[in-house]
Chain A
């Protein structure tokens, strides 16, 4: 089995908890940071190093919406859909992005540059409507501003 994380990385994560099982979420987070998503092989890898049945790992991967089961585009766009953003037009933002990127929610552009997702409240209601691209937060955004941001991302 391919070792996705180094021994030290695993040891550091295990050291935070009194049992191995508890390190599951940080292990999955670390795997996703490295590989962009959590593959079936990665689930088995996590199960093996934490001595869990793969179904336990699978339950956690499937439960938490941030764990991604398939590879995504270079840039992950999250459009907040919750109430405060919705009141200020998140739906317009989402529709614009769908058209602009010619993809639906949960899909990735053909050039693997962008993946479009919706998100529950990002706790940025003061910057509504807000959009998160990778680790960066944008808000309040207009469709026009988003076009500029996407241009930048495509260049970079």
Chain B
């Protein structure tokens, strides 16, 4: 294991690491444009040059492997001078239009530009004019004048998403980034190139001009749209004065987790942030009155639900009640559900959701065929004693035939987010349908009650991904409208049913209430 010294700090690292990686571990930031930890090193921007003892020329930290005994300096005058000169070269043809650039606030060029105070220019010539607002595809727009040709995006498509959708054409100062002429940039992972673009060249058509990034709060969560469980950052703004379209959440971004998603996420998950403020979100408890569902308060809906459950149990016994738990709910919700319905009320008609659609798309990158985030979690918990679990189809059939008089459904159908207009898996039935979920669906028309639940970004919880990785998440922001975390709903329902839930089951749920955001 080589031991090296960087700016007087000693670190021992595994062989094969580069100087920039070792420096990152020491918390020493070496400026970079083309280097990205998730991609092969290019060594082309020349920003990361450092001094290495016994080597006369400055070396690029991103391409130099550590060698035992190496002494690196990142803070000498020669290094500073090199950085200033690279910045000058990049800035002479850059529009420096930060005030109108969507990347402002999270742009490496802007950061270094201010750090190295390159405010005055000795460039007396005519700046390059290149293509502005060039639409690369449905999600990405390009500003060629801001591009520093770092090739991160080119390498992303080549090395991560697997299809070389972008190229750098021509040569010398005429080189430019583009798709094949006339080809529209479409890829399931497009959004990542905006994240990794170190400047304002690639921006997200969905996000741009909605918010200045420094006005956004950041929370952490887990993407709920497939069984991968990508770690995400939730960027939101709770200040209604500066919201756009009354939305709180503006984007999801991948959060680095080498065990799950590295630096990446798919566009389905990325743009899934929209479901948090979607018009379809259920904002208040809804109770059926005739043909209409009307908003009521929580007290009333909880009392009414408890009453109907008690009545059904009294008239038909546990056999008359069915519980369907979609694998979109967190483990804590599942545990509370088991405690309330199985342990306390003795209900055995319980299913953990419909099976995975075998025709659903899957790839070898991140996207899983199973669109539910917590199927493994529900399996691990074991909702009912082994062997007694009921397939969802059988439960649905019991409901359709009238054997089950009251069906309580927890969580959203995983297919719903991917196909909001899709059919409901819950058939028509004569009994009492109670839905506890976040987003409206066709089955609502048959529901007696709809209890609005928080979405994952709005509650604490734990998902277990398809590989069995247990991932806890904290609430990034408060639930929308009157919605409550699922565990809190179950706690209130238990209270109304006068059953004592084991505190362990819903303790977490109580705490989720207070939203926490972290940076």
Q: Are chains A and B touching in the complex at the 8 Å CB cutoff?
A: yes
Chain A residues within 8 Å of B, Cβ to Cβ: 40, 52-56, 58-59, 62-63
Contact between chains at A62 and B165 (CB < 8 Å): no
Instruction: Return chain A residues, CB-CB under 8 Å to B181.
Output: 40, 58
A56 (CB) vs chain B CBs: closest residue:
B164
Contact residues of B: prevailing secondary structure: loop
Contact between chains at B164 and A63 (CB < 8 Å): no
A54 (CB) vs chain B CBs: closest residue:
B180
Instruction: Return chain A residues, CB-CB under 8 Å to B167.
Output: 55-56, 58-59
- Stretch touching chain A among B51-59, B130-138, B168-176, B215-223: B168-176
> B18 contacts the other chain (Cβ, under 8 Å)?
no
Contact between chains at B169 and A59 (CB < 8 Å): yes
- Partner of A63 from B166, B170, B180 at Cβ < 8 Å: B170
Instruction: Return chain B residues, CB-CB under 8 Å to A52.
Output: 164
Q: How far is the CB of A137 from chain B (nearest CB, A)?
A: 25
> B311 contacts the other chain (Cβ, under 8 Å)?
no
Contact between chains at A62 and B180 (CB < 8 Å): no
Instruction: Return chain A residues, CB-CB under 8 Å to B499.
Output: none
Contact pattern, B 380-414, Cβ under 8 Å of A = 1, otherwise 0: 00000000000000000000000000000000000
Instruction: Return chain A residues, CB-CB under 8 Å to B169.
Output: 58-59, 62-63
The docked-state distance in angstroms from the alpha carbon of A59 to that of B10 is 43
The docked-state distance in angstroms from the alpha carbon of A74 to that of B181 is 27
The docked-state distance in angstroms from the alpha carbon of A53 to that of B158 is 10
Given the interface pairs A53-B164, A53-B165, the reply to whether A58 lies near B180 with Cβ below 8 Å is: yes
Instruction: Return chain A residues, CB-CB under 8 Å to B165.
Output: 53, 55
Task: Name 25 interchain pairs, CB-CB below 8 A, sorted by A.
Answer: A40-B181, A52-B164, A53-B163, A53-B164, A53-B165, A54-B180, A55-B164, A55-B166, A55-B167, A55-B180, A55-B183, A56-B164, A56-B167, A58-B167, A58-B169, A58-B181, A59-B167, A59-B168, A59-B169, A62-B169, A62-B170, A62-B171, A63-B169, A63-B170, A63-B171
Instruction: Return chain B residues, CB-CB under 8 Å to A58.
Output: 167, 169, 180-181
The docked-state distance in angstroms from the alpha carbon of A56 to that of B179 is 10
**Max chain A Cβ within 10 angstroms of own Cβ: one of B163, B164, B165, B180:** B180
The docked-state distance in angstroms from the alpha carbon of A39 to that of B179 is 17
List which B176-234 residues lie within 8 A (CB) of chain A: 179-181, 183
Instruction: Return chain B residues, CB-CB under 8 Å to A55.
Output: 164-167, 179-180, 183
Q: How far is the CB of B403 from chain A (nearest CB, A)?
A: 57
The docked-state distance in angstroms from the alpha carbon of A58 to that of B175 is 13
Instruction: Return chain A residues, CB-CB under 8 Å to B171.
Output: 62-63
